[in-house]
Amino acid sequence: MQNPSLWRTWNSVAFPQAAGLNRQLNTADMIRLIIRDEAVHGYYIGYKFQRDLERLSETERQEIKDFAFDLLLKLYDNEAK
């Protein structure tokens, strides 16, 4: 026969820990879904940008490219500080 007090002690330790693990798994699933959703948004916006970029003249494309690289370097310098 099992010791009832030992069983109560085991349940008070094991079940909250198991519940915490279950929450972590659900959180990991939610994070995975969010990342997948954001990847789809990024792909779609990139596709739209490429289509719009094709309509611009070579001068306008170069201006956008220069702006993007300038912004990228400023952001990098800001993070490197």
Which phi and psi angles does 16 have, rounded to 5°? -60, -35
User: Could you give the percent of the chain with pLDDT greater than 70?
Assistant: 69
User: Could you give the percent of the chain with pLDDT greater than 90?
Assistant: 58
At residue 2, does pLDDT exceed 90?
no
For 56, the token pair is 């611009």
Q: Which helix (H) or strand (E) holds 23?
A: helix 4-54
Number of domains in the chain: 1
Domain range for 36 is 4-80
For 79, the token pair is 């993070």
**What's the pLDDT tens digit per position in 16-46?**
555 555 556 688 888 989 999 999 999 999 9
pTM, to two decimals:
0.54
